[in-house]
A and B are shown apart, each in its own frame.
Chain A
Amino acid sequence: MTEKEAKYVKIGAGVAVAFVLYKVLAPNTDNGGGDYDPTGNGSGSASNPLYPFNATKTANALKDAMKELGTDEDAIISELTSVTQAQFAQVVKAFGKKSYNPTTGNQYFAFWQTPIEYPLNFWLKNELSAARYNILKLKYPSYL
């Protein structure tokens, strides 16, 4: 190897080492995905563009999952997965109070019973298993 070739080899090796060091040490940034925080815990109030939010629709879906005997817990979790805590407040408001029979777990009452209306948190606590309700509480601590 001539002196000139050795010089080129050294330069090439130096560039390769510098490139590897840059790749290893350079700080990463990832600005993909726009300005929406997928966790729902961002400072903005933007909703997930993949799941357009409608409080009334969500409230009705929750009621449908709970109103009969037996509860579709997976449907409730699925419906609320993309709902942030701020949006859950709107769902609670849209749900309002609905008649509920805590004994039977549905909306049927005997003729001698007076229907009583309950808010969403009461429905959820009665309809969901303790483990699932605790998971909901972790996500919506201000409302459950």
Chain B
Amino acid sequence: MMKRTTKNKGLSNPAVLAAASSPAGQKAITDFTGMAKASAETSSKIAVEVVPFLIKIAVAGVIIYYVVNKFTKRFVKLGYNTNLAAANISDGQASAKANAIYEAMYGPGANMELVASQIRGLNYNGWIKVYNAFGQKAGANPFGDDLNLSEWLVDQFSTEDIAQLRFVLPGVF
């Protein structure tokens, strides 16, 4: 078993004080203080250079996410089928129908008969014209994505109502 020569520890230890008082000890202390100072300066320099960089990256990331999100969720107009007859309504009529359909669905309750009366008799390209005129509108869920006309219809009406709307205008939604 090792025998202890003193009970004093740290700076209370006379040996440590003697070593610290010697020229070599003073030099070591000076070197250590210099290193600590240099380390603190380096850390400060890194903080000054890196933090703004990280902020820029974060801001750029948010902007890119916003732009990509807006782009991927943008409204894409449906194309007309040139193999079929041209739309049997004008642009103005399509716009009026789109507005009437939106008003029939917006708010509590949705008027299926009114929507049915607006879409009846449309041919395929006529439906495309109304769909494009409707575009995308905020749905009932304020935190949800904007919905196109087909999504609005499915969102607002029961299965039975949808079946009746599909009876009036089959094969398009």
Contacts and interface: CB of A to CB of B under 8 A. Distances in A.
Nearest to B169: A39
Contacts of B166: 81
Contacts, number: 81
Interface residues of B, number: 31
Max chain B CB contacts within 10 Å: which of A41, A42, A139?
A41
Given A42-B124, A82-B170, A135-B164, A35 B117 contact: no
A24 B81 CA distance: 19
Given A37-B123, A38-B124, A131-B113, A28 B85 contact: no
Given A80-B167, A82-B170, A139-B168, A42 B79 contact: no
25 contacts: A24-B74, A28-B77, A28-B78, A28-B79, A29-B79, A29-B80, A30-B79, A31-B81, A35-B83, A37-B84, A38-B170, A39-B123, A39-B169, A39-B172, A40-B170, A41-B126, A43-B85, A43-B123, A44-B85, A77-B167, A81-B167, A81-B170, A132-B164, A138-B117, A139-B168
Interface of A: 24, 27-35, 37-44, 48, 74, 77, 80-82, 131-132, 134-135, 138-139
Interface of B: 74, 76-85, 88, 113, 116-117, 120-124, 126-127, 163-164, 166-172
